[in-house]
Amino acid sequence: MAQLSDSIEHFIKDLMTDDAHVELRRNELAQHFGCAPSQINYVLATRFSVDHGYIIESRRGGGGYVRIVRMQTRGEPNFLEMLLNRVGNSVDEETAVAIISNLLERKMITVKEAALMRSAVSRNALALPISAKDVLRAAVFRNMLVQVFKNLEEENRNDV
Partner DNA sequence: CCTTCCATTGACCTTCTTTGACTATTATAT
Partner DNA sequence: ATATAATAGTCAAAGAAGGTCAATGGAAGG
**Shortest distance (Å) from residue 131 CB to DNA:** 19
Between CA 100 and CA 78 the distance in angstroms is: 17
Between CA 100 and CA 20 the distance in angstroms is: 19
Q: Of a second copy, DNA, none, which one sits near residue 98, judging by CB under 5 to 8 A according to partner kind?
A: none
Contacts of 123 (CB under 8 A, 6+ apart): 93
Distance of CA 71 to CAs 33, 56, 76, 78, 79, Å? Answer: 26, 10, 11, 13, 11
Which residue ranges make up the site for DNA (CB under 7 A)?
A: 3-6, 24-28, 34-42, 46, 56, 58-66, 94
Binding site for a second copy (CB under 8 A): 1-4, 6, 20-21, 23, 50, 55, 62-63, 65, 69-74, 80, 83-84, 87-93, 96, 99, 103, 108-110, 112-113, 116-117, 120-121, 123, 126-127, 130-142, 144-146, 148-153, 156-157
